[in-house]
Amino acid sequence: MGVEGTEGNVLSIQEVGEEIVHLTVATPTTPKPGQFYLLRAWQEAPLLGRPISVFDYSEGKVEFVFKVVGKGTEILAKLKVNDKLQLQGPFGNGFPEVEGKILLVGGGLGNAPLHATAKALKARGQEVDLRLGFAEKVYLEEEFNQAATITQLMVGGLVTDGLNIRDYDVVFTCGPHPMMEAVVKMAREAGIPSYVSIEKRMACGIGACLVCTCKTKSGNKKTCKDGPVFEGEEIFYEDKYQIS
Ligand SMILES: Cc1cc2nc3c(=O)[nH]c(=O)nc-3n(C[C@H](O)[C@H](O)[C@H](O)COP(=O)(O)OP(=O)(O)OC[C@H]3O[C@@H](n4cnc5c(N)ncnc54)[C@H](O)[C@@H]3O)c2cc1C
Ligand code: FES
């Protein structure tokens, strides 16, 4: 199940951390921050493309940062410059356009879509701060530092420790489930809106197969089409989302 993709051409590929790969692909498609593509660089197994968020984009190219966790990402990580791959997408709603001073809180591979989001907000002239947690080592430090008004990169510990959310008008978050739940709670206490980008297993990416269904306060939603970005208060955090 799926839709025809466009063929992409690998422009660059580097390992930027342990099993963390930065891949740049030439494509005529243009995403919005917070959207994702299904990437496929194989003929048969595994059957489906793998959902990877947009780390960055500019005319004619899209960048991804992904962790090698299984067969699909292992094949993607072995691509070489000029190799071809299939890109389906961009899919998903992406982060909303909001006014005011914005805080982006990320953890693990949830940092990747926040990079593109911070850059887009900054380019619109908005004040945007990035606060990101890395498990062992910071990667792509310069890129993250340039993306926002103020960037704080933390290794280990909890990215929510010492966080003062009251300085902001809205918060976006992407990362491990307990981190996002904590950020949404802090936003609620501060009286500001929050948006979360959630991860579920996906197949078609276009709302046809229901593999990615998630329960929300306004009923079942398709993470690939209605999300992956939802209002923080909409989500039931007892659901076991698979967040990198
Ligand atoms: C909307 C969306 C955006 C994503 N963006 C990124 C990104 O920018 N960078 C990145 O590194 N990863 C991202 N992921 C996760 C990525 O899709 C999975 O890591 C990948 O599909 C695993 O494929 P695989 O064949 O290598 O591993 P598999 O062999 O399929 O699985 C290996 C392990 O990874 C886990 N896994 C599989 N699919 C997912 C999933 N959807 N979410 C979390 N864990 C999974 C499995 O439970 C298993 O433990 C995103 C997922 C979604 C849904
Ligand atoms: S992945 Fe098929 S409906 Fe979302």
pLDDT for 67-92, tens place per residue? Answer: 999 999 999 999 999 999 999 999 99
- For 155-179, write each residue's pLDDT tens digit: 988 999 999 999 899 999 999 989 9
- Amino acid 237: pLDDT: 73
User: Is the Cβ atom of 204 under 6 angstroms away from ligand 2?
Assistant: yes
Cα 221 off chain centre by = 18
* Distance from C-alpha of 90 to C-alpha of 199, rounded to nearest angstrom: 16
Q: Which atom of ligand 1 is nearest to the CA of 68?
A: 26
Which ligand has the shortest distance to the CA of 222?
A: 2
Domain extent listing, the chain? 6-91, 102-234
pLDDT at 44: 77
**208 Cα nearest atom in ligand 2:** 3
Question: What is the predicted pLDDT for the residue at 47?
Answer: 76
CA–CA–CA angle 187, 192, 194 (5° rounding): 60
Residue having the nearest C-alpha atom to atom 39 of ligand 1: 201
Given this model, what pLDDT does residue 3 score? 58
How far, in Å, is the centroid of ligand 1 from the Cα of 229?
17
Supply the residue whose CA is at minimum distance from atom 25 of ligand 1. 72
How are beta strands 194-197 and 170-174 bridged, if at all? parallel
Which are the contacts of 41, defined by CB distance < 8 A and separation ≥ 6?
Answer: 75, 76, 79, 83, 84, 85, 86
Is 72 a pocket residue for ligand 1 (Cβ < 6 Å)? yes
* Secondary structure (3-state) at 225: coil
Work out the mean pLDDT of the chain and round it to a whole number: 92
Of the listed ranges 143-147, 187-191, 239-243, the one predicted with least confidence: 239-243
Q: Give the per-residue pLDDT at 243.
A: 41
Which ligand is nearest the CA of 2, by number? 2
Residue 234 clears pLDDT 90, i.e. is over it: yes
5 pLDDT band, cuts 50/70/90, is confident
Give the model's pLDDT for residue 177: 86
Q: Is 190 exposed, middle or buried (0-12, 13-18, 19+ CB in 10 A)?
A: middle
Is pLDDT above 50 for 242? no
For residue 46, what pLDDT is reported?
77
CATH class of 6-91: mainly beta
Evaluate: CB of 108 within 6 angstroms of ligand 1: no
Kindly state the percentage of the chain with pLDDT values over 70.
Answer: 95
Is 47 near ligand 1, meaning CB less than 6 Å away? Answer: no
pLDDT at 1 over 60: no
Pick the CATH number of 102-234 from 3.40.50.720, 3.40.50.300, 3.20.19.10, 3.40.50.80: 3.40.50.80
Tokens 């949830």 belong to: 110
- Whole-number Å distance, alpha carbon 50 to ligand 1 midpoint, is 7
Distance 240 CA to ligand 1 centre (A): 14
What percentage of the chain has pLDDT greater than the value 90? 84
Q: What mean pLDDT comes out for the span 205-234? A: 94
What is the arithmetic mean of pLDDT over 41-59? 90
Residue 239 has pLDDT above 60, yes or no: no
Distance 60 CA to ligand 2 centre (A): 27
Is the CB of 2 within 6 Å of ligand 2?
no
